[in-house]
Chain A
Amino acid sequence: MTTILESDAATTAVPQSTNREGLIFEHSKRGRRGYQLPDLDVPEDAEALPASLRRGEIVDEVEVSEVDVIRHFTRLSKLNVSIDAGLYPLGSCTMKHNPRLNEELARTPGFALSHPLQPDHQVQGNLALIWHIEQTLKEIFGLPRVTMQPVAGAHGELTGILMVHKALAKSGNARKYILIPDSAHGTNPASAAFAGYQIKELKSNNRGTVDIDTLAAAVTEDVAALMITVPNTLGVFETDIKRFAEILHDKGAYLYCDGANLNSFVGIARPGDMGIDVIHSNLHKTFSTPHGGGGPGAGPVGVSERLVPFLPTPTVEKREDGTFYLDHGHPDSIGRVRAFNGNFNVLVRALTYMRSMGPDGLRRIAQIAVLNANYIRARLRGSYHLPYDAPSLHEVVFSDKLQTPKDVHTLDIAKRLMDYGFHPPTIYFPLIVAGALMIEPTESEPKEELDAFCDAMIAIARECEERPELVRSAPHTTPVRRLDEARAARQPVLRWKR
């Protein structure tokens, strides 16, 4: 593959694009049909709906057959790369293998056809499942309760910070600020703002972590919480985390952990033992539920004892006779954060995974994820600049500093990787690294895949020296090449029109 890419043909030939598939609306042909319903078996009542409420034809809605639909979506699917096809090393996204047993069990009719407003006695299986996954997460977190209601990481963040707010307000002063390191994900400040707080940013030190002194100086009586990702977005563990908790707790503030990177220490250490008061976990990261092109996910939130009264309602409780019920009676609860019972069928998948892994398997996730990331770090060191030298866990962040003298940048390297058949790493994040390339391989990747990726990265580094234009103009072999993103934003076309 490398030899073909290095030949001049790759730079000059017309890109060998997959057949471009038109929009489903463009396949539409009057009179085609993709469905059949049984004939209406009740007498038709012409007055069932006042004429003024009845819409006319849905103009431009499609008319296609099942064949058209299957061909269309199958062809479109081929324009995606995916974890099923190979390494997808997006840092902080934990693109791991998605076991198919999870999919099978989530489709068990008893789960799939149950309704969210059934009375408790009819859905004992579902309530038991929610109860069991909470027990398992309690043990993983080392915390006394976990709400399974939030449906995404950011939703969990909002839930967690609302609980902090309510707890503080109840003790007399909700306070004003949430402290957030400059290496944090964007969802952290956004969630804190929607929960009613202002943000104070903490500067990272030269290890990319937070200094105790910096934190101690920032924690005033106005600070409600520190919101911190552990390990941080450089993959570096905050070694002083327990001290952070003490400093915050001494001032009556809370320690919030963004659990996006839980994959690096699951089964090795527990947030609760570090003094963390609130943590959300993205089940679509650490616990293998598929990303599906951007969701669904789930973002359960674990809390320390003093936040338990503020958990969202309802909670799932177990009676002494072994039956389960939804408990709506928590007077200090922040309230419901979503209709119904969270992303229940994501919970089925995640619990399936937790059971498949077991205690040693969960620990092995962290061990091999960290081994894989450090292997990449060792192999790419020298070819790419490592802006922070501190030991890292599950991900490694390089920069384009060695390549910029040739006017080749992170974006170019990312695009060139596509020609080698790999999805690029996360780029230009964290913001504290100029031209960041954030690589997270996860435990799923076999050594051969890691080697192929590293070989590609090393080959690209060489291309940056010898044929920078080849890299700058990449990708060359993808279904489409670089897009005019400015045009998309300047003259937005957000829907098809005839």
Chain B
Amino acid sequence: MTNLPDPLTSVHRYISNASEDVREMLAVIGVDSIDRLFETIPDEVKLTALLDIPGPWSEIESRRWFRDLAAKNKSAVDHVSFLGGGAYLHYQPACIDQLLLRGEFLTSYTPYQPEVSQGTLQTIFEYQTHQCLLTGLDVANASLYDGSTGLCEAVLLAERVVHNRKKVVIARSVHPQYTETVRTYVQNLGYEIVEVGWTADGRVDTAALREACTNDVFAVAVQSPNFLGVIEDYDAIREIADAAGAVKIAVITEATSLGILTPPGAHGFDIAVGEGQAWGIPTQFGGPYVGFMVVKEALKRHMPGRLVGETVDVDGRRAYVLTLATREQHIRRGKATSNICTNEALIALGANMYLSLMGKEGLREVGEQCLQKTAYLRKKLSGVGSVSLPFDGPVYNEIVVRTPFPATQILADLEHEKILGGIPLGPFYEGHENDFLVAVTELHTRENLDHFVAALTAATSRERR
């Protein structure tokens, strides 16, 4: 009735069982063909032809096609990149990826059976510990999808613990795509999102924040360093949020900043949530990344996602296990603290390796180099007549640069110089069409920075003509 290939003669390199196996197995099952096993699928929905898709390709053909595709991108492979905005190009120690390729980590499942998953469980426990040390808070989970969905989960958590309030204040200088994601997540939950802008230094407008923080606000979320690169005054924000009885959420999109900046926990914030990509994860067009969330002790039973705890086995040996599972969807179903199941375990493991390898001194040194190189660039740029730096607040490794010309035009000029010069702010903030965001990391050399300044100077004078 159809001209589909015969499963007895087909063969594929990823499928071991071939014709002889199939015959033997069918005999044990007691049917005469594989088709008989599919009789519960009604004929009216069964395909009578093969899918119309390419393949099968050999490795040789796949390499050719995918590499050609990758070659169509312009990227940090052959350009000097100053792109940040929530995804940063940092040093990636060589051993991390090679360890991540170990099949025992790469090809294992969520550690539901602890006796045969101690490797994964212990590494998650270590990861949780790193998160606590870095943020100055008490309890971290095993990971969330990314920073943006992490913020969603933090907002949902806050609403659960502060009863009968429906308003959340989010600084406009929180990554705009994060806030957009929150809007999507909560669209049917009856929340009101109030945005608060910034002042001339690029920090949250505390007067506006005070006004927004009425006693029906359940949470205040700010990002530091914020989307303009400026480091917020956590204490000032905490005071205002506390007066309203709101949960204080700190968003961190540049995780290496925690190596050198005072952490949110030290300033009395309740939740630190953010993006761990900067801990040695490739930018890879936006994912997979790893969301982290760390909360105060009092909030631990409201935490979304998986938690690993320490215990002992029957012989009294220390061991690790998924715990407090009654928060989770497989137990609580519709009443769970989150719907998250699969998370970003392998990326969190990479982050754990990065944090271990860099360690106490390396995390500080990465932070210091980012800080110093950014300060150097900032100083150099302030000497270029046609360039201004609109925000004068303290920064870590990102700055907003303004010229009298549309940012997209300037960046196109820089692209000719093999520079990916920054992220235009126009699409994110109205009236900022001439601004772009420039990120500097330990990977930039002084020569890169000087070249950037020279190219930008040339571009602005070219535009002027």
Instruction: Report the minimal beta-carbon distance from B353 to chain A, rounded to whole angstroms.
Output: 6
A335 contacts B14, CB within 8 Å? no
| B173 CB-CB contact with A under 8 Å | no
- Residues on B with beta carbons closer than 8 Å to the beta carbon of A63: 359-361
Tell me if B416 counts as interface (CB < 8 A to partner A): no
Complex contacts, A239 vs chain B, CB 8 Å: 40-42
Chain A: CB-nearest residue to B319: A480
Chain B positions within 8 Å of A70 at CB level: 95, 99
Q: What residues on B are CB-neighbors of A32 within 8 Å?
A: 359
Among residues of B, the one whose C-beta sits closest to the C-beta of A362 is: B51
Of B22, B116, B344, which contacts A371 at CB under 8 A? B22
Interface residues of A in 183-202 (CB under 8 A from B): 185-187, 189-199
The residue on A at minimum CB distance from B448 is A41
Q: Mark B235-275, 1 if CB is under 8 A from A, else 0.
A: 00000000000000000000000011111001000000000
Does any Cβ of B come within 8 Å of A262's Cβ? no
Question: Cβ of A37 and Cβ of B356 under 8 Å apart?
Answer: no
- Cα–Cα distance between A242 and B44 once the two chains are bound (Å): 9
Contacting pair A295 B343 (CB below 8 A): yes
Interface presence of A382 (CB below 8 A): no
* Residues on the B chain within 8 Å of A43, using CB: 376
Contact A73 B69 (CB under 8 A): no
Using A21-B122, A45-B375 as known contacts, say yes or no to A345 and B285 having CB atoms under 8 A apart.
yes
- A450's nearest neighbour on chain B, judged by CB, is B25
Q: Is A338 touching B57 in the complex (CB atoms < 8 A)?
A: no
**Does A64 lie within 8 Å of B287, measured CB to CB?**
no
Residues on the A chain within 8 Å of B342, using CB: 152-154, 282, 284, 291, 294-297
Contacts of A268 in B (CB 8 A): 38, 41, 46-47
Check B29 against A375 for contact (C-beta < 8 Å). yes
In chain A, positions 163-197 with a C-beta closer than 8 Å to chain B are: 165-166, 174, 185-187, 189-197
Q: Which 3 A-B pairs have the closest CB atoms?
A: A196-B188, A358-B55, A340-B286
Instruction: Tell me, yes or no, whether A247 is within 8 Å of chain B by CB.
Output: no
Question: Which of B24, B122, B394 gathers most chain A CB within 10 Å?
Answer: B122
A447 in contact with B47 (CB, 8 Å): no
Is B180 located at the chain interface by the 8 A CB criterion?
yes
Asked if A55 and B188 sit within 8 Å, CB to CB, the answer is no
Interface presence of B115 (CB below 8 A): yes
Whether A62 lies near B356 (C-beta < 8 A) is yes
> A293 to B346, Cβ gap below 8 A?
yes
30 pairs of residues in contact across A and B, judged by CB atoms under 8 Å: A49-B260, A64-B357, A105-B66, A105-B67, A107-B97, A109-B77, A113-B76, A115-B83, A116-B285, A125-B70, A139-B53, A154-B329, A162-B184, A190-B332, A192-B334, A236-B40, A242-B42, A270-B47, A296-B347, A334-B187, A336-B181, A354-B53, A360-B12, A370-B38, A393-B40, A426-B112, A446-B17, A483-B319, A495-B128, A495-B139
Docked pose: A61 CA to B131 CA in angstroms? 10
A42 to B450, CA, bound (A): 11
Complexed CA–CA distance, A262 and B37 (Å): 16
CB interface residues, B 94-130, toward A, < 8 Å:
95, 97, 99, 101-120, 122-126, 128-130
Q: Does A435 contact B (CB under 8 A)?
A: no
Q: A361 contacts which chain B residues (CB < 8 A)?
A: 12, 14-15, 55-56
A residues 426-447 in Cβ contact with B at 8 Å: 426, 429, 443-447
List the B side residues contacting A45 at CB < 8 Å: 372, 375-376, 379
Contact present for A290 and B113 (CB under 8 Å)? no
CB of A355 within 8 A of CB of B55, answer yes
Query: Which listed residue (A109, A237, A444, A494) contacts B309, Cβ 8 A?
Result: A494
A383 at the A/B interface (Cβ < 8 Å)? no
Q: A292 and B55: CB pair below 8 A?
A: no
CA distance A336 to B44 in the complex (A): 37
- Give the contacting residue for B306; candidates A194, A269, A294; CB below 8 A: A294
CB neighbours of B197 from chain A (8 A): none
Taking CB atoms, residues of chain A closer than 8 Å to B26 are 371
Q: Which residues of chain B are near A85, meaning CB under 8 Å? A: 103-104
Inter-chain contacts of B335 with A (CB < 8 A)? 193
Judged by a CB distance under 8 angstroms, whether A24 is at the interface is yes
Instruction: Report whether B91 and A84 are in contact in the complex, using a CB–CB cutoff of 8 Å.
Output: no
Partner of B445, one of A41, A377, A494: A41
Cβ A42 vs Cβ B372 within 8 A = yes
A194 adjacent to B446 (CB under 8 Å): no
Task: Check if A378 sits within 8 Å of B28, measured CB to CB.
Answer: yes
- Kindly state whether residue B50 has any CB partner on chain A within 8 Å: yes
Pair B118/A375 contact, Cβ less than 8 Å: no
Most buried by B among A198, A354, A493, A494: A494
- Neighbouring A residues of B383 by C-beta, 8 Å: none
Asked if residues A418 and B310 are in contact (CB atoms below 8 Å), the reply is no
Q: In the complex, what residues of A have CB within 8 A of residue B375's CB?
A: 42, 45, 48
Please give, as numbers and ranges, the residues of chain A lying within 8 Å of B133 by CB-CB distance: 58-61
Chain A window 25-42, contacts with chain B (Cβ cutoff 8 Å), 1 for yes, 0 for no = 100100011110110111
- Contact of A294 (CB < 8 Å), options: B138, B142, B324: B142
Q: Are the CB atoms of B346 and A292 closer together than 8 Å?
A: yes
* Cβ contacts B312-333/A at 8 Å (1 or 0 each): 1111011101011110111111
The stretch of A92-100, A210-218, A462-470 in contact with B is A92-100
With CB as the reference atom, state the residue of chain A lying closest to B412.
Answer: A119
Asked if A482 CB lies within 8 Å of chain B CBs, one says: yes
Chain B CB within 10 Å, residue with most, of A117, A198, A239 = A117
Given the known A-B contacts A23-B125, A190-B333, are A269 and B309 also in contact in the complex, defined by CB atoms under 8 Å? no
How far is B108's CA from A377's CA once the two chains are assembled, in angstroms?
24
Q: Is the CB of B119 within 8 A of A84?
A: no
What 0/1 pattern do residues 415 to 445 of B give for CB contact below 8 A with A?
1000010010000000000000000001001
Q: A107 contacts which chain B residues (CB < 8 A)?
A: 97
Q: Which residues of A contact B231 (CB under 8 A)?
A: 53
Q: In whole angstroms, what is the CA distance A241 to B180 when docked?
A: 36
8 Å CB contact of A488 from B7, B323, B359, B415: B323
Contacts of A115 in B (CB 8 A): 75-76, 81, 83, 87, 89, 283, 285, 420
Shortest CB-to-CB span from B336 to chain A, Å, is 5
Shortest CB-to-CB span from A335 to chain B, Å, is 4
Q: Is B187 a contact partner of A199 (Cβ separation < 8 A)?
A: no
Which of A4-12, A75-83, A248-256, A399-407 lies at the binding interface?
A75-83
Q: Is B45 interfacial (CB-CB < 8 Å)?
A: yes
| CB-CB nearest in chain A for B39 | A391
Say whether B228 faces chain A, with CB atoms less than 8 Å apart: no
Q: Are B105 and A77 in contact (CB under 8 A)?
A: yes
- Give the docked Cα–Cα distance between A294 and B328 (Å): 15
Nearest A residue to B35 via CB reads A367
Q: Which residues of B contact A445 (CB under 8 A)?
A: 16-17
Give Cα A194 to B160, complex, Å: 12
Cβ–Cβ < 8 Å partners of B75 in chain A: 109-110, 113-115, 118, 122-123
Chain A residues with CB below 8 A from B56, complex form:
355-358, 360-361
* Whole-angstrom CA separation of A136 from B54 in the bound complex: 8
* A88 lies within 8 A of chain B by Cβ: yes
Decide: A117 near B423, CB < 8 A? Known: A393-B37, A493-B309: yes
